[in-house]
Structure 1
Amino acid sequence: MLRFFQLPYWLLSVCGFLIVILLGACAGEMPETPVATDCREVPHLMGSTTVCGTPQKVVVLGDHSLDLLLSLGRQPAGLGSVNAFAHLETFDNPEAQIPYLGQFVTTQPVNVGDSSQPSLEVLTRLKPDLIVGEGGRNQDNYKLLSQIAPTLLWDIRTKEGQWQKNIQALALALGSPEKETAAIARYDDLVAEARSDLSVAIEAAPKALLLGASRLNSGEIIAITPKSYLGELMESLGFQVIAPPTTLNYAPLSLEVLPTMDEADRIFVLGYDVGNNQDISTANTDELLAAQTAGIEKDWAENAIAQALPASQADQVYFATYWMWNGLNGPLGTELILEELRQFLLAQ
């Protein structure tokens, strides 16, 4: 009596599947991998990157890239910030946790770590469609970042005209080049409106010295020149920016050199305190931002050289954060600077 061996059902299923594949291959009917369409080459610091379709999940590394993204009407899926917020898994209360730009953020971005050295592990889990950041240390990890998602890195954001190049590239990457035109037009409108509002005050005292410093005696004072984002903005408002001759966007200064620049009618001192960016253990942006100018204001008030300057004598020295005035470098940052300028100059 013949007995037939019965194969298990799962094995029959596997065999059937393989047969279908083999038959399809023989008939030339194997499904092809879809070819990406709507692709474009996007230029940036590291060369060019191919971006296809419309990226939905965008990670921004740093405030400048966040400014650009928001100015194009898009929201971040992930954000790299300063170490002060390293303990946060997500920015679940953006207005309180993201200095200056948080008021414009409507998502709850995943915290991907330091903007100049993001967590590759977190980025891999997030699976973004696009990563956008600045050069610097990110250049060392560019290949690794590009393996996670198409990555764009920007050249020095503080250079004159650089933000316009960056926002043009980002708009192209997002598949919305028309939004770049709208963002730049809005910037131009904001500047024209502010120039009109501030014209009388600026004409009365047009020569401006723009300083960046942590502490007055630290030996790390810089003059921001007309060849910079901020210098370009101030001169477009009608100021004459005072700075040592240079082709760069900044010029190092010593405290002893300040008296040679006494032609300045006004001095804008942009304070920063990197140490506090590391020390704050809770997400307290008010504390973080107050610390940026506290040291330099104290030094200025107590220093005989600083107090002897004509601008000090005329009560024309203004303290602001380097973070906002020369850290955002985009349309939204410009809007915030112009608001603070009105407070400085029109309150008098």
Structure 2
Amino acid sequence: MGLKKILTLVFVILLLLLSFFYLKGLYNISAIELSFNGKLTMDKFRDLNKELHLEKYSIKYIKKYNGGNLIMTTGNDRKMRDINISRGEFLYDSEKPITVIGEKIASTYFNKYNILGEDMFIDGKEYEIVGIEKDGNDIYIPFDEKKLSEYWDESLLTYIAPYEKTYELSINRTKNLLESQGIKVNNTIVYKEVIRGYINIIILILLYLIIILFKKIYESLKARIKSIIKGYKKKRRVMHLHSYIKKEKKNLLITLSEIVGTLLLFYIIIKICSYLIIPDNMIPANLFSFTDYKDIIVLYYDDIILKLKDGLSDIVVDKFKIYGFIIIIVIMWNRILTYIENKHFKTRNSEG
């Protein structure tokens, strides 16, 4: 493998690692988001929560409003993701008509900087502004069951799973309980799977590099063992085995180190694979069944179509933005390396 390719892969790993920490800082890695259809009142959810035992959760209804989003929420949003409040505070009382607006909304509707405490007419009701979101274009209002009869583009239940290791059981249980109340769950996004996706790619790149190294060491080991055996066959009539071992001591030590290196790399490959996070529905029940693989592809395709149809979650949008940024940066990085490589080649030719 050429130096240019190795440098590019190392650079990609660095970018993916930075992306992982960026997204992890922006979203709660333990959060789970369910999009649903139906009217989920607080009383109905409290009854369901007697069985779910969720301590941290947020119910949100979202619709387009004046160029941004109007978000009606029960609160706890800042426990699910980072919402940067530049002035004031986030919604602190679901009973009071208060609102948090983005800076872009504030600059559109108000001509002054200090607007905390000002009233704003939002979607047919007057609210007191208690906070400003930095660089935001959204409006947050407290959960109001009277507004559930209105049209909303999206309905979300976001929560922290009580036990991280059994989050899939928690998802199934939550879905079943919601659907028993006539509330259909459309889509599920596990933040951990989205964020850890970067680590999965890093692991796959590392596996690729390690397998190439493993292959080189293995080929060298195989050739060396063949050479030692062939050499002994030629000299066994005139040289005792222990004398041949003494003579080939250096070669045998290299062979032994290559065997240890091969076994170590094999162990590292198995260990690294154990850190891959693959959703259960992406693992075929029968590894040798073509039908199972086909079903997984169809399921994955349907999931993508559903997400595109219902609208992408914020975390998914951010993930695609980051992937786009990485692709652009890597293309630029490759061009820089190619330029340096060509310049170096021309310099060598001129010197020659």
Shorter-chain TM-score category? under 0.3
TM-score where L is the length of structure 2: 0.21
Which has the greater radius of gyration? 2
TM-score where L is the length of structure 1: 0.21
- Tell which has more relative contact order, 1 or 2 (C-alpha 8 A, sep 6+): 2
